[in-house]
Amino acid sequence: MDFQGKLSIIIPCYNEEKIINQAHKRVLSALEKLDVDFEIIYINDGSDDRTLEILQHLAKSKNEIKIISFSRNFGHQPAVSAGIKYCSGDVAIIIDADMQDPPELFPELLEKYQQENCNVVYCVRKKRIGENFFKKITAKLFYKMLKNYSDISIPQDTGDFRLIDRKVITEFKKLKEKNKFIRGLIFWLGFKQVPFYYTREKREAGETKYPLKKMISFALTGLTYFTNKPLYQLLKFGMIILSIGFIFLIFLLFINFSQILSDNQTSMILISAIIILSGINLISMGILGIYISNIFKELKSRPEFVVERTINIPEDKNI
Ligand code: UDP
Ligand code: MG
């Protein structure tokens, strides 16, 4: 392999004290085998354990190890986004700190990038090891919904583990939205994107930093930022219900209900209809609410993240 440029590795970290040393060793040994110019950017996403301390220790020895530390926990996507904004490589690889995505695949990713002469190599999980049934089923459901609903066909079972080149990085930096669903946005950018199939390992240590609440909010961003379909479906659904109502009304004009149903049964049917319709109304309001809240978030224009300190990054570098 004859990759001549510089490679940036982007690693978001949130409370990963149990893993970070081991992860660093694996990443470093994968990079040393490659024999290329590199930098490793760790983003400390407001960890409240010893993550920053360990990272600082690692960065002491080498200038190529850089740290961006957030003022609080902003989330996985802002952390990756900060890495992409800062990195100076000709290509960058985004990888999780928990080593579920093996760094030993770096050479293969670079090789694919060169062979295919592409701009993005996105890694598709053909198998997931050590993730529980609930995680697997919710992930499957999410990727299915994303595929069916979104206006662009975002590849299934693809996380943020991927290689992107300078063209993509430059275009990504121009994106103004604050709440970023990175895997969708990179796909949206276009260029030549090629899949790479791999087996997702289990977490080396520690727990997932994506509890159900974060997962739901992430899934909703992914869905609502990439499609307006739910809004149109509500309209369709409303029309169907209205039609049913009219048909029912016409039916009532010809039939005397008291002959078929008792008063009790009639009121039970009425009560159920009211409850069902109120439910549908509330769901509709909820979906509308999500879109409005997205507009609100973007309108406020707050930054994606706040940096508390950087290490081995020049002062004038605007993150
Ligand atoms: N992460 C982060 N901020 C967060 C949550 C997660 O930077 O608020 C990092 C985390 O340290 C890890 C990566 O994002 O490197 C993926 O998180 P995790 O492995 O917990 O997600 P899962 O693989 O369970 O979906
Ligand atoms: Mg993980």
pLDDT per position as a tens digit, 204-228: 777 787 777 888 888 888 888 888 8
Confidence class for position 248, pLDDT limits 50, 70, 90: confident
Mean local confidence (pLDDT), 102-130: 90
pLDDT, one tens digit per residue, over 13-53 is 999 999 999 999 999 999 988 889 999 999 999 999 999 99
273 pLDDT more than 90: no
Sheet of 37-44, strand order? 193-200, 120-128, 158-165, 91-94, 6-13, 37-44, 65-70, 307-311
Mean local confidence (pLDDT), 117-141: 83
pLDDT above 70 covers a percentage of the chain that reads 97
Cα–ligand 2 centroid distance for 98 (angstroms): 5
DSSP, res 19: T
The residue contributing the CA closest to ligand 1 atom 17 is 209
Of all ligands present, the nearest one to the C-alpha of 100 is: 2
* Residue to probe by mutation, ligand 1, list 134, 209, 212, most atoms within 8 Å of CB: 209
* Residue to probe by mutation, ligand 1, list 9, 49, 55, 96, most atoms within 8 Å of CB: 96
92 pLDDT more than 70: yes
Mean local confidence (pLDDT), 251-276: 80
Task: Find the range with the poorest average confidence among 75-79, 255-259, 311-315.
Answer: 255-259
Token digits for 211? 């509890």
Look at residues 129, 190, 135, 181 and name the one whose alpha carbon lies nearest to residue 159: 181
Contact 198, 126 (CB under 8 A): yes
Higher pLDDT, 301 or 67: 67
Give the Cα-Cα-Cα angle 184, 134, 218 (nearest 5 degrees).
30
pLDDT above 90 covers a percentage of the chain that reads 55
Cα–ligand 1 centroid distance for 170 (angstroms): 25
pLDDT of residue 137: 83
Q: Tell me which residues have their CB within 5 A of the ion that is ligand 2.
A: 96, 98, 100
pLDDT of residue 205: 76
Confidence class for position 318, pLDDT limits 50, 70, 90: low
Residue 94 CB less than 6 A away from ligand 1: no
Cα–ligand 1 centroid distance for 48 (angstroms): 14
pLDDT of residue 316: 65
Residue 305 CB less than 6 A away from ligand 1: no
Cα–ligand 2 centroid distance for 201 (angstroms): 9
The count of other CB atoms within 10 Å of the CB of residue 238 is 13
Q: Where are the beta strands (DSSP E) in 176-314?
A: 193-200, 307-311
DSSP, res 156: T
Contact 209, 96 (CB under 8 A): no
User: What's the whole-number average pLDDT of the chain?
Assistant: 88
The residue contributing the CA closest to ligand 1 atom 16 is 96
Task: Find the range with the poorest average confidence among 200-204, 291-295, 311-315.
Answer: 200-204
317 pLDDT more than 70: no
* Residue to probe by mutation, ligand 1, list 210, 216, 304, most atoms within 8 Å of CB: 210
Of all ligands present, the nearest one to the C-alpha of 27 is: 1
Is residue 184 classed as helix, strand or coil in its secondary structure?
helix
The C-alpha atoms of residue 157 and residue 63 are separated, in whole angstroms, by 35
Contact 118, 195 (CB under 8 A): no
pLDDT of residue 154: 78
